[in-house]
Structure formats: C-alpha cells, structure tokens
Structure 1
Amino acid sequence: MKKFICLNGLVGPIDIANVDTDMIIPKQFLKSIKRHGFGKYLFDRLRYLDEGEPDMACENRSLNKEFVLNQPRYQGCSVLLAKENFGCGSSREHAPWALEDFGIRSVIAPSFADIFYNNCFRNGILPIILDAHIVEQLFTEVAETEGYKLDVDLVGQKVTTPSGECFGFSVDEFRKQRLINGQDDIGVTLNDAAEIKAFEQKAKQETPWLFADLI
C-alpha cells in the first residue's frame, strides 16, 4: 500500500450527493480480486456513452464530454471533492480500488458511508470530513479557478487552499499511522510477526498433534 503523508493535488469536483459504490465502480466489473486495473472503469456510467463490460478496450469508447473528470482542466486530479454520503450502497472494496487506481489519493466530503470510509484507509486513500459550508466554499473556488490544487497534510491534519486558508480535520490515530506507514491489514499484522512466530513455536511444543500435517 502506498504511503500517505502529504499531497499537493489537483481537485476534481463530483457535485452529486449520495454517490453509491455502484456508481463509483459498476457491478459487472467486480470479477477480479486484484487491486489494480479498475481505474479505467471508475464512474463508468458517467464517463462513457456506451455500457461498459469487463475487459473492454476503453481507449476506443466514446467519452461523455459533459462529465467533469473527462474535462481537460481536471485531468490528473488526485483529490476528489464530493457531496454528502459519498460511497453509500454496497460494501464492495473495489470502490476505493478504482479510485486509487485512477490516481485519487484523497476524497473530501461532508460525510461518508461508514464501510466505504473504513475501506479507504485500508487501501491508501485519505477520506476527509469537512463541514458542509466549507465543502461548498471549495466547490465554488474549484469552479472559479482552473488548476485549483489543495495541500493535504495528514501529519498536521489540515487542508490548505491556494490562498493559504487552512481547515483542520479529525482522523483516528491508528488509521493515521497506517496511512503514514503505508500498511494495509496484512502489513499491520506483520508488525507482530515475531510474537506470532513465538506463539506458533510454543503451540507446536505444547500441542504437537494440531500440527501433525505440517511437520
């Protein structure tokens, strides 16, 4: 998992409330458990004029020029600005996989669906909750300023606008540290690798019959 410490990122605005995970990555693409390759299908129904199918060559598909992330000014965005209840719907972990594979490292919104919020931290994405009026201010500034970027500082827990205005945000310390260290669930478990190995060795000595097939 990629580390997240700080980011100076171009902002892409998704001015839609209650964006669900099927809008983020439609169900027909959930046929792989690999974390990569989903970026080209992100917001598939909004990005393309045809219906997407797994393993399609998206390079030849007709783009919806009205969709914000297809517009030239938002190409290469790494911060997604969203409305309330972002990531609602199913618990599919493919949603943050698609966002990260597309290049999104942080999502800012007034609120998130709980499971999606948790899945972001597990996959190297920093979800930031800011007050609704601040989010509305950011939407206005993004619309008025081409090339609008935000500084996202996880260590200092603040978002800074191009004018220097700062907004603090809260984040659980455990989740913060796993992002800073770039550790997914397996990485966190491996922090205790020595203790786990010692437990296994002790268990083999005390209950060898449980490990008969492993000897």
Structure 2
Amino acid sequence: MEKFTQLTGVAAPLPMVNVDTDMIIPARYLKTIKRTGLGAGLFASMRFDDEGRERPDFVLNQPAWRNAKILIAGENFGCGSSREHAPWALLDYGIRCVIAPSFADIFYNNCFKNGVLPIVLPQEQVDRLQQAAENGANATFTIDLPSQTIEMPDGERVAFEVEAFRKECLLNGWDDIGLTLRQAGDIDDYEQRQRTGQPWLWAS
C-alpha cells in the first residue's frame, strides 16, 4: 500500500447525503478482483448517461474538478453494501482523501485498509470546505497527516482527528498483509520450532 503523508490537490465538492457504495461503483463493475481499472466506473451512473456519454453537470466531468484528488462529501458517505471495490475505485481514479460529516463503518474501515484517508468533520466545517472548493475552482487543498491538518486555498488550517494506529498504518503504508509481514521473523521462528517439535505436522 502506498504511504500517505501529505496530499496536495484539487477538492471536488459532492454535497450529497447517503451516497452508497453502488453509487460509488455500480455492481456491474464487481466482476473483477483486480484493484486497477475501476476508476473508469467511479460514480458511473452519475458521470455517464445510458449511451456512455459524460453528464456535463456532474462535478468530476467539469474541467475544474476532473483531476480532483480530494472529495468533500455529505453525511453517511459509503453506506450500503460492504464492497471493497468502492475505495478501490476512488483510489484508481486518483482520489486519496474523502472528507464528510460521517461515513458508513465498513466503508470507513475499508478506506484505511487501502490507503484512502477518510476524514470526519462537523457539518459546518464540511460546508465551509465545500464552499471553498466551489468558489475556488482549480484551487488546491493540502492534507497533512502528520500534523492532522487541512490547509484551505486561502491558507486557513482546519484540524482533524484520526486514530493513532490507523494514522501509523497510513504513514507507513501498512495494509493487513503488511502488518502481518512485520512479524515475519517471529512467524519463521514459530514454524521452525514446530518443525522440530511436531515434525508430523509438516509431513508431505
């Protein structure tokens, strides 16, 4: 998993509540277990019409936010099914941070496991960030994980909270596999002791 330390980029405002995982990545894209290529299907029903043409009114189709790296969303973002493809699609598109007043629990956990930083802020602060993103098309925000701050285009900083363990994992790029591999020495030692003391368990 790629490390997350500091992210600077355009923030796209998506002030919709209850954006579920089927809206983030429709079920027809779930046939793959690969994490790449899913960005093409991100918000597909909102980005494209039935003929596959872009809907010009959707925020990520507009020039100012087409290359957004940050998404400022409404409450209960990521509700619905538990599909891990949702953070995969965001990440593949290039979005590494989502800011919202609240997230669905499973989606929130899946984000951290895949290198996407979900930030929870009070509604009034989210509203201010969305307004700054709307008013300053192409303006950049900076998410600094070590200091736990968001720098707005005008230089104002907003603090956010993140659990210490999750922060450490993102800073170091540790997903579940990475965390397990940190114990590789102890695992090897255990297996060697087992081979010696219980060799029948290793008989082919």
TM-score by length of 1: 0.92
CA distances 1:91-142 after superposition (whole Å, capped 9, x unpaired): 1000000000000010000100011001001111011111100001111121
Which letter maps to 2:189?
A
Match of 1:91 among 82, 86, 94: 82
Aligned counterpart, 1:56 = none
Q: In the alignment, does 2:9 pair up with 1:32? A: no
Q: How does 1:156-167 map to 2 (within 5 A)?
A: 156-167=147-158
Q: How does 1:1-215 map to 2 (within 5 A)?
A: 1-50=1-50, 61-213=52-204
Q: Give the conservation status (yes or no) of the 8 Å contact 2:136–2:153.
A: no
Q: CA deviation at 1:148?
A: 2.2
Which letter maps to 1:99?
L
Which letter maps to 2:2?
K
Which letter maps to 1:150?
F
**Alpha-carbon separation, structure 2, partners of 1:154 and 1:39:** 24
Q: CA deviation at 1:194?
A: 0.3
Q: Report the secondary structure of 1:73's partner residue.
A: coil
CA distances 1:52-94 after superposition (whole Å, capped 9, x unpaired): xxxxxxxxx3111111110011121000000000000011000
Which letter maps to 1:194?
G
**Alpha-carbon separation, structure 2, partners of 1:139 and 1:26:** 25
**Structure 1: gaps (5+ residues):** 52-60
**Structure 2: gaps (5+ residues):** none
Q: Give the conservation status (yes or no) of the 8 Å contact 2:59–2:66.
A: no
Q: Report the secondary structure of 1:174's partner residue.
A: helix
Q: Identity over aligned residues, as a percent?
A: 52
Which letter maps to 2:43?
F
**Alpha-carbon separation, structure 2, partners of 1:37 and 1:82:** 23
Q: RMSD in angstroms over aligned alpha carbons?
A: 1.0
Greater shift in the superposed pair: 97-106 or 131-140: 131-140
Which letter maps to 1:44?
A
Q: Report the secondary structure of 2:203's partner residue.
A: helix
**Alpha-carbon separation, structure 2, partners of 1:198 and 1:183:** 22
Which letter maps to 1:15?
P
**Alpha-carbon separation, structure 2, partners of 1:183 and 1:36:** 19
Work out the number of aligned pairs and report it: 204
**Alpha-carbon separation, structure 2, partners of 1:91 and 1:146:** 33
**Alpha-carbon separation, structure 1, partners of 2:172 and 2:199:** 37
